[in-house]
Structure 1
Amino acid sequence: MTVHDVARLLPATDVLRDHCRALAMLEAVLNPDRADRAHAFDAHWSATEEMASMTNGSGDEYAVVFSPAGAYVRGFAHESVMSPYAGLAGDGPWPGVLDEVPDAFRAYVTEPAFTDEDGTPVVTACLWRAPGDDAWRTGTIDFPDDGSGDPDGSGSLFHLLTDRSPEAFRRFAEDYYEVPVALSAVRHVYAGHPLTEEVVGVLNPGLTLVDLTEDAVEIGYPLPRRDGVARG
């Protein structure tokens, strides 16, 4: 799989935003320690931007910025032959990965959160989608044949964004946290329903809704109100 395949498999921007929000909320329930979570969502990254992120703890990561300009996706697979540090592409990102990023998203190419201390973009895969686009866009890239079928790391980086089934998340979470994960609870959160004490208790008996209030506000995920009206 390459970023070109990912572009065909990603959903519309709003659907992707809701999915990323659900991933972050599920992990917040499963793991109170923010530093050890793989997925996060900051609904207040700036006054006009939200950001979903993933880090696997081994050097691979992605970020998805949602803004009035649309959505910008940047991924980095540290073992990819297309890494800026692999030495095969010269002193920067692999040719084509960032060359065609539109002006509306160019600020993210040099965003300090997405570059190293020398200002080099830390990226092996990039996609974007403007509000008027009918599909995700990528650069024109001549991918190297590294024998893996995943030269830019897209297959592993974005697998929970391209396979958005509750079963896929359960497989990930049971492997990552080594605990059983109730599929019914995953389906509840994937559907965007407000959290309930029952769902929280099924996923993590050690937590309550009150414990998750700060996380839910940061993520922008709905919590029930006493009058029965959801808030988020």
Structure 2
Amino acid sequence: MEVNVLERLPNPIFLKKLMKIQASLNIILCQDEWLRYHSFVQNWDEGVCMAKIDNGAGDHLIILFSPDGSIIKGFDHESELSPYGVKTVTLTGTREKLRFQKVKVMVLIF
């Protein structure tokens, strides 16, 4: 049974809110910045926000949010899609600036 991961993702506006909430809660619950799993950088680049989940053991999820679209990159070393079994998919953004060809998608876990 093939699962289309892209169809299961929340819309980017809602996802951005969720990531901000997770980062905010992590700041409240974890005093030591270097131990935090969740982070959010509002002005990562001009017009771009970055959300990140990093467990410190190599697994991570990075999401870039921009007016032109969103980019999601994740890695889980225990996934069936680890580097030794990478599957290739094609993603196309809604605008010409956001266009990907044969992006390696490892895992998207929320």
Query: Which structure carries more relative contact order (alpha carbon 8 Å, separation 6+)?
Result: 1
Identity of aligned residues (%): 33
Q: Paired residue for 2:87, among 91, 95, 98?
A: 95
Paired residue type of 1:42: V
Answer whether contact 1:64 1:72 (CA < 8 A) is retained: yes
Measured against aligned partners, the alpha-carbon deviations of 1:47-76 in whole angstroms (never above 9, x if no partner) come to 111011101222211011101211111110
Secondary structure, in 3 states, of the residue corresponding to 2:14? helix
Q: Take 1:53 and 1:95, find their aligned partners in 2: how far apart are those partners?
A: 23
Question: Within the alignment, does 1:104 sit opposite 2:98 as a pair?
Answer: yes
CA spacing shift, 1:29–1:17, aligned 2, 3 Å = same
Question: How much has 1:33 moved relative to structure 2?
Answer: 1.4
Aligned length in residues: 103
**Structure-2 change in CA distance of 1:3 and 1:34 (3 Å):** farther
Larger Rg: 1
Higher strand share: 2
Deviant stretches of 4+, over 6 Å: none
Q: Give unpaired runs (5+ residues) of structure 2.
A: none
- Distance of aligned partners of 1:3 and 1:64 in 2 relative to their CA distance in 1, 3 Å threshold: farther
Q: Which has the higher helix share?
A: 1
CA gap 1:11/1:80 in 2 versus in 1, 3 angstroms: closer
Contact residue 81 and residue 87 of structure 2 kept, 8 A: no
Task: Give 1:95's aligned amino acid.
Answer: K
- Separation of aligned partners in 2, 1:83 and 1:63: 16
Q: Counterpart of 1:72? A: 71
Per the alignment, residue 129 of structure 1 pairs with none
Matched, 1:25 2:15: no
Question: Whole-Å Cα distance in 1 between the matches of residues 99 and 26 of structure 2?
Answer: 29
Between the aligned partners of 2:3 and 2:70, the Cα distance in structure 1 is: 15
